[in-house]
Amino acid sequence: MGERLLASDRLKRRADFERVQSKGRKVHSARFLFLVLPRETGEPTPTRLGLTVTRKVANAVGRNRIKRVLREVFRKNRALFPSGCDVVIVAKDRAPGLGYEDTREEVQQASTALLRAGRSSPPRAEGPRNQERPGTVRGSGKSTEGAR
């Protein structure tokens, strides 16, 4: 059972993908974008993998091949991925045509950054963006204080 890819090792629900994509840390490589989000459970849990390959990247045959190769790299090289995390891999438009060895090398080059991103420190808090200062009228750039 050591190298099998079980159903529990995969992200399947859209909500899980969205959670990782919105809160996860990004690690870029030449052909892939890795999104890593530590899971909030006390006990050790396996790493779960989610794959995204859009129609802009390749046709159906190409997309399925990319996903098959990525699953195989994950299955045989779990040590390259952080444990207890959800990982979503988004293929970039340069991904088609990669074989197993090329894909494994790319993941291996990104593994240090992946392991760093998978540490259980919480993602940085988002501060208020585009928040207006008190006393400003939106769009005018003028203060309402003493306007009369």
Buried/exposed 57-69: b ≥16 CB within 10 Å, e otherwise: bbeeebbebbeeb
Q: In 10 A of CB 109, how many CB atoms?
A: 12
Closest CA to 70 of 37, 44, 92: 92
In this prediction, residue 123 has a pLDDT band, given cuts at 50, 70 and 90, of very low
Averaged confidence pLDDT in the chain? 81
pLDDT at position 125 = 46
The tally of CA atoms less than 13 A away on the side-chain side of residue 52 is 16
pLDDT at position 141 = 53
Structural domain includes residue 139: no
Structural domain includes residue 135: no
Range of the domain at 29: 7-117
**Cβ distance 50 to 20 under 8 Å?**
yes
Per-residue model confidence as pLDDT tens digits over 37-84: 988 766 677 889 999 999 999 999 999 999 999 999 999 998 888 888
- Does pLDDT of 8 surpass 90? no
What CA–CA distances, in Å, run from 104 to 21, 31, 80, 100, 110? 23, 12, 9, 6, 10
Structural domain includes residue 132: no
- The rounded percent of the chain whose pLDDT value lies above 70 is 76
Structural domain includes residue 129: no
Q: In 10 A of CB 73, how many CB atoms?
A: 24
Structural domain includes residue 40: yes
Structural domain includes residue 70: yes
Domains identified in the chain, total number: 1
Structural domain includes residue 148: no
CA distance 67 to 118: 22
Domain of 71: which CATH number? 3.30.230.10
Structural domain includes residue 2: no
pLDDT at position 144 = 53
